[in-house]
């Protein structure tokens, strides 16, 4: 297709740049400016809306392309092969073409609002300047091809299941865990800290397992889960906590999502996360909340998972 051909040209223009970027740099975990969690949440919300509007099949293909690209990484900078670089660009171009332009620009504008204007120049200073300029020129030509192939309206909203066992179980889980949710400091910057003692390549293995799980999920249920999160963001209070009803809808949506993949795929995520998450992390989280609320939430979760398991 046209976007695939354009991605090859984009690769010609940008692969030198890609090789110069230190993809393992811890800087990418930082907020791109002043730490403003509620503003950042607005930007994430725009990404969620864009994801929910995208063609689920193309999202799945983009996840698969990323998984493949992780498999061909080489060198200290963590760069993928030229062919996989092109394949990721092509897949993302197709995702972008599957949503109306305004959804893409809403992401751009909201990310701009939390990004210090000095960031682009600083990033450029870390690589060979002319290569960065060549890559940007390539991006501008690529985007014209994407725009030419872009839809005018979003794909249809998800069909949300109702009256199912997972929905019922989600009510019990949410009743048991909402007090715990209210204890959590959602506006803390602790969640942006690097995982203690772990390198970027080690952490990437756990992310890869999440990508694999995402690629196997039912597309309609993934869209429904994204829509539920968007709705939940719309009802947060000043501390970032969503309403009880929206929290319940998120739990139901995630439960159905988990049930749409094999149990072993979920356990691969858990086991790879357990490898990179030191036990000091859960303990630290636990120390900041009411312990009775956390234990009640945990009981709720371990009961919920038995219902989900029946549908895996
Ligand atoms: C936890 C898990 C949550 C910890 C939060 C940290 C996760 C951070 C991940 C960040 C990585 C970066 C990713 C995103 C970034 C992107 C950027 C570009 O508190 C365990 C041990 C292993 C814990 C670590 C692994 C957690 C993995 C979770 C899945 C991954 C989610 C995805 C995350 C990120 C992205 C989302 C989109 O399991 O876990 C606490 C448990 O720790 C406590 O141990 C458990 C035992 O495993 C279990 O066997 C049992 O003993 C239990 O239960 C205690 O404790 C007992 C009874 O058996 C129960 O019935 C009940 O009564 C209970 O007690 C009541 O207390
Ligand atoms: Mg989520 C999970 C935040 C958008 C899909 N997400 C998580 C949690 C964290 C979070 C609270 C990971 C850390 C953890 O396990 O803590 N998400 C979060 C934010 C946003 C967001 C702030 C922003 C909008 N997510 C989002 C979107 C999607 C998802 C758009 C796609 C539709 N998210 C998604 C999945 C999963 C998460 C599939 C998980 O599996 C993971 C998670 O919650 O695993 C348990 C602990 C969790 C919480 C504090 C919240 C849940 C409370 C439960 C139900 C009860 C508590 C149990 C116990 C005390 C702790 C967990 C024990 C354990 C062994 C699992
Ligand atoms: C400017 C000035 C003009 C010239 C110009 C110009 C530039 C405009 C630009 C630009 C626009 C632009 C847009 C970009 C957009 C990037 C969007 C990224 C979206 C990320 C998402 C992430 C996610 C997910 C995912 C799916 C999940 C949800 C999420 C589901 C259902 C200024 C050059 C025209 C770069 C969507 C993918 C996993 C949140 O206009 O004179 O330069 O760049 O998890 O969804 O699971
Ligand atoms: C524009 C103007 C509107 C019209 C419009 C428009 C277009 C927007 C567009 C577009 C945005 C866009 C974004 C693209 C992004 C591509 C990103 C590619 C990333 C590839 C990576 C590959 C890799 C890896 C991997 C992980 C490794 C690092 C690597 C580590 C730690 C402008 C059309 C709406 C195409 C990251 C995955 C293996 C490098 O808005 O008027 O057209 O395209 O190896 O990580 O090692
Ligand atoms: C233990 C001991 C036994 C008892 C026991 C026990 C516990 C096991 C546990 C547990 C397993 C477990 C699993 C959990 C899994 C969480 C998985 C999260 C996945 C997140 C994903 C994120 C993403 C996306 C997304 C879609 C995108 C891709 C991504 C596309 C196409 C120890 C109790 C049985 C918690 C997939 C969603 C946006 C990457 O066994 O005695 O306690 O928890 O962006 O895909 O866009
Ligand atoms: C298990 C064992 C296997 C069988 C199995 C199994 C099950 C795994 C499961 C499962 C995993 C799982 C995960 C669930 C996660 C739910 C997470 C809910 C999060 C809700 C949030 C709500 C909110 C917001 C929001 C953003 C705000 C904060 C809030 C800020 C900054 C165990 C079946 C395979 C259910 C985050 C979105 C508005 C609070 O593996 O043997 O069954 O379920 O307002 O952010 O303000
Ligand atoms: C213990 C012992 C067992 C019993 C047990 C137990 C307790 C475990 C616990 C606990 C785990 C736990 C985990 C918690 C996790 C919370 C995760 C929150 C994530 C929030 C995010 C927010 C954000 C943003 C956002 C974007 C911004 C950055 C952020 C930028 C660029 C010990 C009870 C099981 C509480 C990600 C979205 C706005 C950070 O295990 O016997 O008690 O709690 O602002 O982006 O700025």
SS3 string, 62-128, reads: HHHHHHHHHHCCECCCCECCHHHHHHHHHHHHHHHHCCCHHHHHHHHHHHHHCCCCCHHHHHHHCCC
Half-sphere exposure of 65 (CA within 13 A, CB side): 21
Handedness of CA 173, 175, 176, 177 (dihedral sign): positive
- What's the CA gap between 265 and 261, in Å, rounded? 7
Q: What is the dihedral of CA 1, 19, 84, 10, to 10 degrees?
A: 0
**Whether 214 contacts 266, CB under 8 Å:** no
How open is the CA angle 137-95-242, to the nearest 5 degrees?
115
- What's the CA gap between 255 and 259, in Å, rounded? 6
Spacing, Cα 47 to ligand 2 middle (Å): 17
Length of the chain: 312
Task: State which H helix or E strand residue 50 sits in.
Answer: helix 37-53
- What's the CA gap between 212 and 131, in Å, rounded? 32
Q: Is the pTM of this model over 0.90?
A: yes
Whether ligand 5 lies within 6 angstroms of the CB of 229 is answered as: no
Spacing, Cα 63 to ligand 1 middle (Å): 24
Pocket test for ligand 2, best of 236, 254, 286 (most atoms within 8 A of CB): 254
How open is the CA angle 308-310-312, to the nearest 5 degrees?
70
Nearest CA to ligand 1 atom 44: 282
For residue 9 the two structure tokens come to 């040209």
The ipTM of this complex is 0.98
The per-residue pLDDT for 154 is 87
Nearest CA to ligand 7 atom 22: 186
Q: For the purposes of burial, counting CB atoms within 10 Å of the CB of 134, is it exposed (0-12), middle (13-18) or buried (19 or more)?
A: middle
Spacing, Cα 252 to ligand 6 middle (Å): 9
**Nearest by Cα to 262 from 298, 196, 215:** 215
Question: Which residues are near ligand 6 (CB < 6 Å)?
Answer: 37, 41, 181, 186, 229, 232-233, 236, 240-242, 247, 250-251, 254-255, 258, 263, 266, 304-305, 308-309, 312
DSSP assignment, residue 5? Answer: H
Whether ligand 2 lies within 6 angstroms of the CB of 229 is answered as: yes
Pocket test for ligand 6, best of 165, 222, 250, 256 (most atoms within 8 A of CB): 250
**Whether 115 contacts 33, CB under 8 Å:** yes
Nearest CA to ligand 6 atom 26: 233
Atom of ligand 5 minimally distant from the CA of 302: 33
- What's the CA gap between 215 and 302, in Å, rounded? 25
- What's the CA gap between 56 and 62, in Å, rounded? 10
Pocket test for ligand 1, best of 40, 197, 273, 293 (most atoms within 8 A of CB): 273
Atom of ligand 6 minimally distant from the CA of 305: 42
Nearest CA to ligand 2 atom 57: 298
Q: In the chain, which stretches have pLDDT less than 70? A: none
**Whether 251 contacts 167, CB under 8 Å:** no
**Cα separations in angstroms, 50 against 32, 43, 152, 230, 288:** 21, 11, 13, 10, 34
């Amino acid at each position: 297709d046209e976007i695939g051909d354009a991605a090859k040209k984009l690769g010609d223009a940008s692969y030198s740049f890609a090789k110069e970027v230190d993809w393992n740099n811890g800087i990418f975990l930082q907020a791109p400016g002043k730490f403003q969690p509620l503003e950042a949440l607005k930007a994430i919300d725009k990404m969620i809306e864009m994801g929910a509007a995208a063609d689920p099949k193309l999202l799945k293909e983009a996840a698969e392309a990323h998984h493949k690209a992780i498999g061909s990484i080489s060198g200290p900078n963590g760069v993928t092969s030229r062919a996989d670089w092109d394949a990721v660009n092509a897949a993302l171009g197709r995702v972008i073409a599957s949503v109306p332009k305004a959804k893409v620009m809403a992401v751009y504008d909201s990310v701009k609002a939390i990004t210090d204007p000095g960031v682009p120049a600083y990033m450029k200073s870390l690589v060979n300047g002319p290569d960065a300029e060549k890559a940007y020129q390539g991006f501008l030509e690529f985007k014209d091809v994407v725009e030419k192939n872009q839809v005018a309206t979003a794909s249809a909203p998800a069909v949300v299941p109702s009256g199912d066992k997972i929905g019922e179980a989600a009510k019990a889980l949410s009743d048991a865990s909402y007090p715990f949710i209210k204890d959590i400091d959602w506006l803390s910057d602790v969640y942006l800290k690097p995982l203690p003692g772990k390198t970027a390549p080690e952490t990437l293995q756990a992310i890869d397992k999440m990508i694999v799980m995402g690629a196997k999920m039912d597309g309609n249920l993934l869209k429904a889960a994204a829509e539920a999160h968007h709705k939940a963001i719309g009802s947060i209070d000043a501390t970032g906590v969503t309403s009880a009803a929206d929290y319940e809808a998120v739990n139901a949506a995630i439960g159905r999502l988990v049930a749409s993949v094999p149990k072993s795929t979920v356990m691969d995520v858990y086991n790879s996360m357990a490898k990179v998450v030191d036990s000091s992390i859960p303990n630290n989280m636990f120390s900041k909340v009411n312990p009775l609320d956390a234990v009640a939430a945990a009981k709720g979760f371990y009961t919920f998972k038995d219902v989900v398991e029946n549908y895996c």
